[in-house]
C-alpha cells in the first residue's frame, strides 16, 4: 500500500506523529505547552527538510547514493568553530553570546568556506567532483585534528561545553533562530522546486545534460551553493548530523515509485521530518529522555551506509 501512495501515507503518518508530539501526556496548561512544543516541532520540520533535501541534491549531482554533504567537512568545521569560540572567549562569554549573531556568524562562515572550496575545485578548468569530495574529506580530518588539539589546551569546564555542542541537540533549539531558519528554508524550497526538472536531466550525467541544453557549470555551482546553505543552516541550528541524510535518502529511494525530483523532493522531506518528530516523541514521552535521538540516528545511518556499500559490491 505504501509503495502505491508513499507521499500521501507518509504525510498522514507525519500529521499523526505531530499531533502526538503536541498533545501527548499534556496535563493542563495548554497555553504554555502548545507554544513550547510547537517551536520544537517547527525546528524538527526545518532541520528534517534541510538535511533531507541537501543530501538528495548532493547525491543527484554526484550520481552516488552513498555520499552526503558531511563528507565535505561541514560537521568538522562546525565543531572546530565552536572550539575556537570557547578557546578565545571562554565558556561563560560563549554561553552569553547572542544566539542570532552566533547563528548568522556560523552560517556565513560555513557557507563562505564551502563556496571558496567549490570555486577552487569546480571552476571551468577543473570540474572534478571526485577531487572535490577527496579534498573535503581531507579538510574534515584536518578540522577534527585541530578540534582535538584545542580540546587538550582548554580547561575541563570549557571542554564540557565543546563536548555538548559536538552532538546534535533536537530538543534545545533557541526559539529566536526559528524565524531566520524558516525564511531560509522557504526561499531555498522555492528555488529548488523551480529547478526540479533540470535536476532530472542532471541525473543523466554531465555529457547528456550538456547535450540537452543544460548549463552544467552554472547549475552545478548553484546546486552546490544551495546544498551549502541548507547544511550550514541545519548544522548551526541543532549541531552536526553525519548519517541522517543518508538514512532518509535510502528510505526515499526504497519507497519512491519513480526517480523524478517532483516526487522525491517531497518524499525525502516528509520522511526526514517523520523520523525526527516520531523519534523525538518516543524519546520524550515514552523513554523519558533516557537516550539521545541523534545517537540512534547516527547508529542507524551508519548501518545503512555499510549496507549500501555491501550491496554495491555485490552488484559488481
Q: Which three cell numbers stand for residue 75?
A: 560537521
Contacts of 162 (CB under 8 A, 6+ apart): 79, 82, 83, 86, 147, 150, 151, 154
Q: How far is CA 245 from the centre of its chain?
A: 6
| 168, 294 contact by CB (below 8 A) | yes
Domain boundaries along the sequence of the chain = 6-315
pLDDT (tens digit per residue) in 267-282 = 999 999 998 888 888 8
Distances (CA, A) of 50 to 44, 175, 186: 10, 17, 10
pLDDT score of 164 more than 50 = yes
| CATH superfamily of this structure's domain 6-315 | ABC transporter involved in vitamin B12 uptake, BtuC (1.10.3470.10)
| 174, 181 contact by CB (below 8 A) | no
| 272, 244 contact by CB (below 8 A) | yes
pLDDT (tens digit per residue) in 227-264 = 888 888 888 788 777 778 888 888 888 888 788 888 99
Q: What is the Cα–Cα distance from 125 to 121, expressed in whole angstroms? A: 9
The pLDDT-based confidence of 283 (bands split at 50, 70, 90) is confident
pLDDT (tens digit per residue) in 98-151 = 778 878 887 888 778 777 766 665 555 445 566 767 777 788 888 888 888 888
Counting other chains too, the contacts that 205-208 makes at CB distance below 8 Å and 24 or more residues apart are 205/63, 206/127
How confident is the prediction for the chain on average, in pLDDT?
A: 80
Q: Which three cell numbers stand for residue 255?
A: 519507497
H helix intervals, 70-175: 74-95, 99-121, 129-153, 156-165
Closest of 182, 186, 241 to residue 42, by C-alpha: 182
- Across the chain, the runs of DSSP E, i.e. the strands, are 122-123, 126-127
| 233, 50 contact by CB (below 8 A) | yes
pLDDT (tens digit per residue) in 297-306 = 777 766 776 7
CB atoms within 10 A of CB 260: 14
Q: Could you give the count of Cα atoms lying within 13 Å of 98 in the half-sphere of its Cβ?
A: 4
Residue with cell 570555486: 119
pLDDT (tens digit per residue) in 85-102 = 888 877 777 777 777 887
Amino acid at each position: 500500500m505504501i509503495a502505491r501512495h508513499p507521499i500521501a501515507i507518509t504525510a498522514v503518518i507525519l500529521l499523526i506523529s505531530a499531533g502526538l508530539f503536541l498533545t501527548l501526556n499534556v496535563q493542563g496548561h495548554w497555553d504554555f505547552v502548545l507554544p513550547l512544543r510547537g517551536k520544537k516541532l517547527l525546528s524538527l520540520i526545518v532541520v528534517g527538510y534541510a538535511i533531507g533535501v541537501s543530501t538528495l541534491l548532493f547525491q543527484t549531482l554526484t550520481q552516488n547514493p552513498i555520499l552526503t554533504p558531511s563528507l565535505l567537512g561541514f560537521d568538522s568545521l562546525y565543531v572546530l568553530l565552536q572550539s575556537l569560540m570557547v578557546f578565545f572567549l571562554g565558556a561563560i562569554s560563549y554561553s552569553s553570546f547572542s544566539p542570532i549573531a552566533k547563528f548568522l556568524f556560523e552560517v556565513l562562515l560555513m557557507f563562505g568556506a564551502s563556496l571558496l572550496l567549490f570555486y577552487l575545485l569546480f571552476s571551468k578548468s577543473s570540474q572534478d567532483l571526485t577531487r572535490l569530495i577527496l579534498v573535503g574529506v581531507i579538510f574534515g580530518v584536518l578540522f577534527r585534528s585541530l578540534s582535538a588539539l584545542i580540546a587538550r589546551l582548554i580547561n575541563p569546564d570549557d571542554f564540557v561545553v565543546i563536548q555538548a555542542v559536538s552532538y546534535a541537540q533536537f530538543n534545545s533549539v533557541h526559539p529566536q533562530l526559528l524565524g531566520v531558519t524558516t525564511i531560509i528554508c522557504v526561499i531555498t524550497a522555492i528555488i529548488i522546486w523551480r529547478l526540479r526538472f533540470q535536476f532530472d536531466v542532471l541525473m543523466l550525467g554531465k555529457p547528456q545534460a550538456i547535450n540537452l541544453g543544460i548549463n552544467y557549470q552554472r547549475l552545478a555551482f548553484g546546486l552546490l551553493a544551495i546544498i551549502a546553505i541548507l547544511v550550514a543552516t541545519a548544522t548551526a541550528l541543532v549541531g552536526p548530523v553525519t548519517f541522517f541524510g543518508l538514512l532518509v535518502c535510502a528510505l526515499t529511494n526504497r519507497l519512491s515509485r519513480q526517480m523524478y525530483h517532483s516526487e522525491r523532493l517531497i518524499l525525502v522531506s516528509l520522511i526526514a521530518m517523520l523520523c525526527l518528530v516520531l523519534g523525538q516523541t518516543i524519546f520524550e514521552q515514552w523513554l523519558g529522555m533516557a537516550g539521545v535521538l541523534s545517537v540512534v540516528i547516527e547508529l542507524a545511518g551508519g548501518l545503512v551506509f555499510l549496507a549500501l556499500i555491501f550491496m554495491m559490491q555485490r552488484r559488481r
